[in-house]
Structure 1
């Protein structure tokens, strides 16, 4: 099992973690927000956190400890949106950040390891027009990485505002012609299978729980098996890759490996499995999800 973390992203830094919180720098701003897996003590004092943080997220009253809903408290002069850049090899991406009511800022920095994987794959296996499908695609980091390498990208998310955000990231990165789909991911994949569509790359980053564009219910443990079986039908038999991320405290790397082996058996030339993590400046490692990546 591999443990992977971005090591070269100059505009992002995990400063400290502990007491169910994390302190991070995104470009020009430092933010403090909840992190349910940071069960250890902070290395810096509360006073140091308060001095450093430009924005602090407070959970709404009468919510559970793991709830993500709340509001941000901003220091005077803090403005949004702001922008952050990411570079790897010849690829340079620019992404918009902002403060949402669910503690997110528009980017999951640990996913940069998967962006690098996509770039490396498309660089080594040049195809005239590789087809890449990004499901539960959020603000589109993986979509941008694939598009920057010449892929034809289909970006699927059920939230219109997120698609608008993704489009802004595409334009700021000097890219164009990503195919935007506002729909429930499972419904879209079922239809693509009926059409006989094939993709050279599929990226899945499903939430533990969510709603589709028309209120369709997504529950990870109930739906992931069907979703992956459908993706098996969509994935090209050669010159293709699949990335699965599972950010759910109930899903281990062993569950992910067993699930993938039961569906895909020995159809991948190679695969790897492990955890994505971020390390703070005090050498504490924060786990941020299980990944599985395979290549045909």
Structure 2
């Protein structure tokens, strides 16, 4: 089943407007304007309204596609917290203005946090082991831990692991295992050890580097990564979530890789689709494809 998923009922987040390769967003009390390569249409609001509303605006450095700086209005902090609640899950995230336009959270992932929280609680294993790879600042790790899972958070960048730990503590959670490691090296080692996980969360970037300079290129590494993960996932009691953000990757590629490498016969729930955010003028901003499955049922 092909599904489109978006944010619902999140008091601390809104996508206000999109267009001209930018997006205008509210995170808690603060409104930010930053680049968005897929917003190729015109803005709904006048530029004067953007200028009036935005308390922080990201400007790219000349000649750079990603790096830049934030222009801040008076009273705009460089760090602040927002909250996300669903059921008994109550998460807090520390946001910050990075030099690569990111703020420490990808709000389109909120439907996946719900999936992780719901499905982890359905697993038969009393304290399921869940591995979150390319885990960034830990939204998925927090959702899994809030559901009672034994969580391993893996990211190659030490600084974002510290950031994720701040989010864990702010959310009144404990005992997530933090690993700074190249994802492929870790996965190969875990397969050799014969380790199994009841949950896998994969959110690989298009490109990147490991802690020791290891190169990651999505199209070169993804097939092997899926083969390894197929061996790591418990075939009888599991949940799995995979996100792809790369603009050139069709959801059909993701579907083929999943069906080739994972045992899906016992899965009670499978879903392939796209994540998007909708602005106040009902334009849908596409933000990646996903495949998720579990041995539980859809709730």
Shorter-normalised TM-score: what interval?
A: over 0.9
After TM superposition, give the deviation of residue 256 of structure 1 in Å: 1.0
Give the Å deviation of 1:126.
Answer: 4.8
**Number of residue pairs matched?**
293
**How big is the shift at 1:79?**
1.2
Match of 1:12 in 2: 13
Q: CA deviation at 1:118?
A: 0.6
Q: Is the 8 A contact 2:230 2:263 kept in 1?
A: no
Say whether residues 1:212 and 2:210 are aligned partners: yes
Q: Structure 1 stretches (4+) deviating beyond 6 angstroms?
A: none
What are the equivalent positions in structure 2 for 1:1-296 lying under 5 Å apart?
1-63=2-64, 67-264=65-262, 266-269=264-267, 270-296=269-295
The structural deviation recorded for 1:190 is 0.7
Shift of 1:234: 0.4
Deviation, structure 1 residue 263: 1.9
User: What SS does the aligned partner of 1:282 have?
Assistant: coil
Indicate if the aligned counterparts of 2:206 and 2:217 stay in contact, CA closer than 8 A: yes
Asked if the contact 1:55–1:75 (Cα under 8 Å) also holds between the matched residues in 2, the reply is yes
Report the alpha carbon displacement of residue 46 of structure 1 after superposing the two structures with TM.
Answer: 0.7
Give a deviation string over 1:139-170, Cα, whole Å, max 9, x none. 00000000011100000001111011000000
Q: How far did residue 267 of structure 1 move?
A: 3.8
Change (3 A) 1:140 1:33: same
Native 8 Å contact 1:268 1:294 kept in 2: no
SS of the aligned residue for 1:48 comes to helix
Query: Displacement, 1:4?
Result: 0.3
Structure 1 window deviating more from structure 2 (268-277 vs 14-23): it is 268-277
What's the secondary structure of 2:256's corresponding residue? Answer: helix
Rounded Cα–Cα distance in structure 1 between residues aligned with 2:83 and 2:255: 33
Q: Tell me the distance in 1 between the aligned counterparts of 2:261 and 2:199.
A: 17
Q: Secondary structure at the match of 1:228?
A: helix
How far apart, CA to CA, are the structure 1 residues paired with 2:120 and 2:146?
10
Are the aligned partners of 2:146 and 2:173 in contact in 1 as well (CA < 8 Å)? yes
Return 5+ residue gaps in structure 1 as ranges: none
Give unmatched runs, 5+ long, in structure 2: none
TM-score by length of 2: 0.96
Does the 8 Å CA contact 2:235/2:263 hold for their aligned counterparts?
Answer: no
Q: Deviations over 1:207-255 (max 9, x none)?
A: 0000001110000000000001000110001120111100011001111
Give the direction of change, closer, same or farther, for the CA distance of 1:142–1:266 in structure 2 (3 Å limit).
closer
